Amino acid sequence: MGDKKLIKYVFYRAFMKDVSICPKCGSTNLKPATLAGTSDALPLGRGVDFNKSICEDCEYVGICPILPENEIDNFRKELKK
Ligand SMILES: [Zn+2]
């Protein structure tokens, strides 16, 4: 890897955001389940449930994968298969 390429890569990684994505419809229009009055879906003290989100597009409630922004298109393509 040349210097120029390496610098570009580091820069790219530093500014790439990780976003939650709905595993059902591929929307990134998610909100944390805690804020939506679904406290029954979120037993406190169980770490895995802290990441539960609600999809505002298809009403999926559950754990959503977190992807770097540039992976979102690939993920959506996989969903359609
Ligand atoms: Zn959805």
Ligand 1 center–CA 36 separation, angstroms:
15
At 31, the pLDDT band (50, 70, 90 cuts) reads confident
Ligand 1 center–CA 26 separation, angstroms:
6
Q: Which of 80, 74, 72 is nearest to 30 (CA)?
A: 72
Per-residue model confidence as pLDDT tens digits over 40-77: 544 444 433 456 788 999 999 888 888 888 889 999 99
Angle of CA points 40, 79, 15, to nearest 5°: 85
Give the DSSP H or E segment for 19. Answer: strand 18-20
Whole-model pTM: value is: 0.62
Ligand 1 center–CA 81 separation, angstroms:
16
Q: Is the pLDDT of residue 12 over 70?
A: no
What residues pack around ion ligand 1 (CB closer than 5 A)?
22, 24-25, 27, 55, 57-58, 60
Tally DSSP H helices, then E strands, for the chain: 2, 5
